[in-house]
Amino acid sequence: MLGEAVVDTAVNAVQKDVKLNKFEKFKAVKDGLDVKDELEHFAEIGWEAVDETDLTHRLKWLGVFFRPVTPGKFMLRLRMPHGVLSSYKLRVLAEIVQRYGDDGSADITTRQNIQLRGIRLEDIPDIFQQLRDAGMTSVQSGMDNVRNITGSPVSGIDADELIDTQGLVIKVQDMITGNGVGNYAFTNLPRKFNIAIEGGRDNSIHAEINDIAFVPAYREGVLGFNVLVGGFFSAKRCEAAIPLKAWVPPNDDVVELCRAILLVYRDHGLRANRQKARLMWLIDEWGLEQFRAEVEKVFGKPLLSDAPEDAMDWDKRDHIGVYAQKQSGLNYVGLHVPVGRLQAEDMFDLARLAEVYGSGELRLTVEQNVIVPNIPDSRVETFLQEPLLKKFSIAPAPLTRSLVSCTGAQFCNFALVETKQRALGLARLLDAELSLNQPVRIHWTGCPNSCGQPQVADIGFMGTKTRKDGKTVEAVDIYMGGKVGKDAHLGDRVRQAVPCDELKDVLKALLVERFNAEPKSDLSQPS
């Protein structure tokens, strides 16, 4: 844990900066984390009476998001390090959303995490107690904090994995959040911050789009991690992470290097213009060599040079279906959750399946799906007969299978278009009309913030508006060429402002021309 002295340094660094943006100003007045002591009071006075900055900004430090689209019904963003959770935890979350009836639901996010919907502010003190009792936290999951830390969803069960990263991810989260209770050392970063620790061969978590990514690499025969820095997406600029030219062994050096980079970012990151505040902007300003040298100073010992190449040499897997684990006689089964949306009864059912057939554990993927691990060979067939697998299939059609979508207009006030239902409707329609011999990864994002990562997709859609027949209508910019897995790189925008009502024909043509889709010969024939 960091001492008071370091925290003071951060505050001074912020206060010395003369040109602060409005977010920096309100953070300087009161730290976002401070609202943790006011929750009972907020619950008593009701959300309408809460100070506006506390309501719309500071509560996000606790993972509580006011939704202007559904005032009074909040979103609660958890932390699910490595996307691993127990049936017990999932049941607690199911009970929380169940009490909100039709307003209550949950989403699996593009960072292997869970967000709950329909939450009432007056229930937050009670809900936080339930989370604490179940060993969960939502602290520092929004605004200028480190987001959920991602890792391979099959860590520890994948026969081909290089490093089991689960323990490391938890240690890094505990360092950043003060073991889940909140840590003022890292609650005033210049901007949001993403960390990923990959231990598999297939770059399962899009390492390249994180502010810090650890990727497996052999250095002089020893397995550890090459370190990448500065990856991010924003409305203004998208960059893949670049090598820090450093290698660390898979031990506490990972935690200490995260700490060092975060301290350098916190104390020197740019705070004048919020559109130019992510880590890469600091690396640009200083140059990589200076950035690396400053990090090394805080790290407290020389950084080793990087390994000549990383060890991610596989195409990316989606984990949907039945797979043998490295533990003989056990299997993991990946279920497809359409656009990540869960209802309370789905969550109860998933918890039951994990207990009855597996070990009670569940895993989440950045494709917004669920994995049930540790199912014995003898139980797989019965598991596959469970009614929930009709909804959460192990063999979805190719377009539906690889679909990812951000929240969109249903709950997000940044959204320029509705995403989840439109994405699913279109995928299902074209799955019915076209034969494809490969999945096509389609990602939807409702605005240029890129939460749905259209730049990593085969085909990405980014919400926008356009004029058609004298009216403003919902439209998308189209991205193509995102490559994932080994040699990942970002896709580019290839078309602008295609009205959504023309999208079916446009997408169909793209699938035929570029992905060898063929019209199904007779749509009236049952398949």
Hey, which residues are catalytic here? Answer: 77, 191-192, 446, 451-452
From the list ligand SRM, ligand SF4, none, partner contacted by residue 21 (C-beta under 5 to 8 A by kind): none
Q: Which residue, judged by CB position, is nearest to ligand SF4 in the bound state?
A: 446
Q: Rounded to an integer, what distance in angstroms lies between the CA atom of residue 85 and that of residue 151? A: 13
Q: Say if residue 264 is exposed, middle or buried (CB neighbours under 10 Å; 0-12, 13-18, 19+).
A: buried
Tokens describing residue 520: 């199904």
- Under the binding rule (CB under 6 A), the answer on residue 414 touching ligand SRM is yes
Identity of the residue, 373 or 452, whose beta carbon is nearer to ligand SF4 in the bound complex = 452
Say what the alpha-carbon torsion angle 479, 395, 82, 105 is, to the nearest 10 degrees: 80
Among 74, 392, 411, 444, binds ligand SRM (CB under 6 A): 411
Residues with Cβ < 8 Å from 347, sequence gap 6 or more?
90, 91, 93, 94, 97, 106
Size of the residue set binding ligand SRM (CB under 6 A): 33
From the list ligand SRM, ligand SF4, none, partner contacted by residue 446 (C-beta under 5 to 8 A by kind): ligand SF4
Tokens describing residue 390: 């009709």
- Under the binding rule (CB under 6 A), the answer on residue 366 touching ligand SF4 is no
From the list ligand SRM, ligand SF4, none, partner contacted by residue 415 (C-beta under 5 to 8 A by kind): ligand SF4
Q: What 8-state DSSP symbol labels residue 160?
A: T
Find tokens 């990448």 and name the residue: 228
> Of 141-149, 283-291, 372-380, 487-495, which segment contacts ligand SRM by CB under 6 A?
141-149
Q: Say if residue 467 is exposed, middle or buried (CB neighbours under 10 Å; 0-12, 13-18, 19+).
A: exposed
Identity of the residue, 408 or 499, whose beta carbon is nearer to ligand SF4 in the bound complex = 408
- Under the binding rule (CB under 6 A), the answer on residue 176 touching ligand SF4 is no
- Under the binding rule (CB under 6 A), the answer on residue 475 touching ligand SF4 is no
- Under the binding rule (CB under 6 A), the answer on residue 456 touching ligand SF4 is no
> Of 27-35, 233-241, 249-257, 471-479, which segment contacts ligand SRM by CB under 6 A?
233-241
**What is the smallest separation between the CB atom of 517 and ligand SRM, expressed in angstroms?**
27
Tokens describing residue 172: 């890094």
Q: Say if residue 457 is exposed, middle or buried (CB neighbours under 10 Å; 0-12, 13-18, 19+).
A: buried
**What is the smallest separation between the CB atom of 463 and ligand SF4, expressed in angstroms?**
6
From the list ligand SRM, ligand SF4, none, partner contacted by residue 445 (C-beta under 5 to 8 A by kind): ligand SF4
Q: Say if residue 521 is exposed, middle or buried (CB neighbours under 10 Å; 0-12, 13-18, 19+).
A: exposed
**What is the smallest separation between the CB atom of 509 and ligand SF4, expressed in angstroms?**
26
The partner residues of 508 in beta bridges, in order of sequence, read: none
**What is the smallest separation between the CB atom of 439 and ligand SF4, expressed in angstroms?**
22
Identity of the residue, 153 or 408, whose beta carbon is nearer to ligand SF4 in the bound complex = 408
- Under the binding rule (CB under 6 A), the answer on residue 442 touching ligand SF4 is no
Identity of the residue, 109 or 155, whose beta carbon is nearer to ligand SRM in the bound complex = 109
- Cα dihedral sign for 269, 272, 276, 282? negative
Tokens describing residue 343: 């209802």
Strand order, beta sheet including 370-376: 84-86, 361-364, 370-376, 330-335, 321-324
260 within 8 A of 295, measured Cβ to Cβ: yes
From the list ligand SF4, ligand SRM, none, partner contacted by residue 148 (C-beta under 5 to 8 A by kind): ligand SRM
Identity of the residue, 7 or 62, whose beta carbon is nearer to ligand SRM in the bound complex = 62
Find tokens 């951060």 and name the residue: 10
Among 393, 410, 449, 466, binds ligand SF4 (CB under 6 A): 449
Identity of the residue, 303 or 401, whose beta carbon is nearer to ligand SRM in the bound complex = 401
Identity of the residue, 210 or 450, whose beta carbon is nearer to ligand SF4 in the bound complex = 450
Among 216, 373, 439, 446, binds ligand SF4 (CB under 6 A): 446
Identity of the residue, 286 or 414, whose beta carbon is nearer to ligand SF4 in the bound complex = 414
Among 203, 210, 445, 453, binds ligand SF4 (CB under 6 A): 445
Question: How crowded is residue 142: how many other Cβ atoms within 10 Å of its Cβ?
Answer: 21
- Under the binding rule (CB under 6 A), the answer on residue 442 touching ligand SRM is no
Query: Per-residue x/- mask for ligand SF4, residues 397 to 416, rule CB under 6 A?
Result: ---------xxx---x-xx-
Q: Residue count of the chain, please give it.
A: 527
Identity of the residue, 199 or 358, whose beta carbon is nearer to ligand SRM in the bound complex = 199
Helix 288-299 with 279-286: angle, nearest 10 deg: 110
- Of the candidates 88, 70, 78, the one whose C-alpha atom is nearest the C-alpha of residue 109 is 78
Q: CA separation (Å) from 331 to 4, 318, 323, 337, 373?
A: 48, 15, 5, 19, 6
- Under the binding rule (CB under 6 A), the answer on residue 392 touching ligand SRM is no
- Under the binding rule (CB under 6 A), the answer on residue 56 touching ligand SRM is no
- Under the binding rule (CB under 6 A), the answer on residue 151 touching ligand SF4 is no
Q: Rounded to an integer, what distance in angstroms lies between the CA atom of residue 11 and that of residue 17? A: 10
Burial 105-122 (b: 16+ CB within 10 A, else e): bbbbbbbbbbbbbbbbbe
- Of the candidates 214, 114, 77, 70, the one whose C-alpha atom is nearest the C-alpha of residue 155 is 214
- Under the binding rule (CB under 6 A), the answer on residue 441 touching ligand SRM is no
Which residues of this chain interact with ligand SRM, rule CB under 6 A? 65, 67, 75, 77, 107, 109-111, 113, 115, 141-142, 147-148, 191-192, 194, 209, 232-235, 278, 406-407, 411-414, 449-451, 453
Contacts with ligand SF4, residue ranges (CB under 6 A): 406-408, 412, 414-415, 445-447, 449-452
